[in-house]
Amino acid sequence: MEIRIEHLNYIYGLGTSYEKKALDDISLTIRSGEFIGIIGHTGSGKSTLIQHLNGLNRASSGQIFVDGKNIYEDGYPMRQLRFRVGLVFQYPEYQIFETTVLKDICFGPKNQGLSAEEAEGRARAAMRMVGLDEHYEGKSPFELSGGQKRRVAIAGILAMNPEVLVLDEPTAGLDPKGRDDILGVLKQLHRESGITVVLVSHSMEDVADYASRIIVLDKGKVLYDDIPAKVFSHVEELESIGLAAPQVTYVMRALRGKGWDVSQDVTTQAEAADEILEVLRKAGVKC
């Protein structure tokens, strides 16, 4: 499915002294099968933006078209849209409420009107996708670790079989291993099922290795919308809005500064390693 956003504006607390423009003339298109990273500093509007994708927020002005249909038109099946665009919120604590993991994951599919058996089937499939094995089914979700709770939350959305999976800071507050695990799950999902993934984060490291397109938000505006290598070439601008390029970018820049002939388009550690080895080989070093 394709989501096209046109001149979207969103203003908080309209008509009060707290009035604040959170999104300022946003236009972009999310195409089927993409893996998009949305990056921005705290308060840049990224969470506000993604809550428009499934209709939880209603734009102050502007339009959103899903597969060509305007979602703000009267009679648009908004609830169906929520099942098609699965949104995982930042903290799993906000959605976990059932006594067992399996029941909690069943909540979404049951709301879709599926029978108990169908919902359980979907829930079990979703658990496998996020790497939770059967012995978690009967456990209380409140007893799990932070990383596992987050898997339950993601599975709860995946069980609805969404076409687009949107995640708000899925790695916030996780240790490095938990972070790599979650991001690995997403990468695998994207590769195997072809689901569109939109990953929101304030960390470049998170998205650099996984996203094929990066959207940088600043003060409610789209600053960059491009492939990672192009976005990371604006290191100074990114730093000036409180972000940073991935560490690899800095290493490669430093090497170029020392006269090494390495490419600047490298964004992941694996690519960087290959590039450095290549240069060394050219120089006649055995490695």
Partner 1 sequence: MLKDMTIGQYYPGNSLIHRLDPRVKLLGTLVFIISLFTFSSISAYALATVAVLTVVAVSRVPLRYILKGLKPIFILMLITILFNLFMTPGTAVLQIWKLKMTEEGIRFAIHMAVRLTYLIIGSSILTFTTTPNSLTDGLESGLGWMNRLHVPVHEIAMMMSIALRFIPILMDETDKIMRAQEARGADFQSGGVFHRVKAMVPLLVPLFVSAFRRANDLALAMEARGYHGGAGRTKMKPLVYHRKDWIAFLVMAGYVAAQILLRIFVKI
Q: Report residue 243 CA to chain centroid gap.
A: 17
88 vs 266, beta carbon nearer partner 1: 88
Which residues lie near partner 1 (CB under 8 A)?
13, 16-17, 51, 54, 56, 79, 82-83, 86-89, 93-97, 107-108, 111-112, 142, 156-157, 160
- Min CB(174)–partner 1 separation in Å: 18
- Give ∠ CA 205-57-169 in degrees, rounded to 5: 20
146: amino acid identity, one letter: G
Between 100 and 112, name the residue whose CB sits nearer to partner 1: 112
Least distance to partner 1 from the beta carbon of 114, Å? 11
Cβ proximity to partner 1, 95 vs 249, nearer residue: 95
CB of 287 to partner 1, least distance (A): 50
Q: Identify the residue whose tokens are 């290598």.
A: 229
- Please say which residue, 139 or 234, places its beta carbon nearer to partner 1: 139
Coarse DSSP helix, strand, coil percentages of the chain, rounded to the nearest 5 percent = 40, 20, 35
Cβ atoms within 10 Å of 259's Cβ, excluding its own: 6
**Rounded least distance, CB 281 to partner 1, Å:** 50
Residue closer to partner 1, measured from CB, 56 or 279: 56
Nearer to partner 1, 111 or 188 (CB): 111
Q: In this complex, which beta carbon is closest to partner 1, that of residue 83 or of residue 136? A: 83
CA distance 237 to 216: 11
The minimum distance between CB 56 and partner 1, in angstroms, equals 5
Strand partners, 37: 199, 214
Q: How far is the CB of 271 from partner 1 (least distance, A)?
A: 35
Give the pair of three-digit tokens for residue 31.
């195409």
Residue closer to partner 1 by CB (options 82, 151) is: 82
Report how far residue 230's alpha carbon sits from residue 219's, in angstroms, rounded to the nearest whole number: 21
| Shortest spacing between CB 91 and partner 1, in angstroms | 8
Residue type, 196: T
Dist CA 158 CA 32 (whole Å): 17
Sheet holding 20-30, edge to edge: 20-30, 3-12, 61-66, 69-70
Task: Give Cβ neighbours of residue 186 (< 8 Å, ≥ 6 apart).
Answer: 165, 167, 170, 197, 199, 210
Six-digit token string for 152: 């339950």
Q: From CA 172, how far away is CA 67, in angstroms rounded?
A: 32
Closest CA to 146 of 122, 182, 107: 182
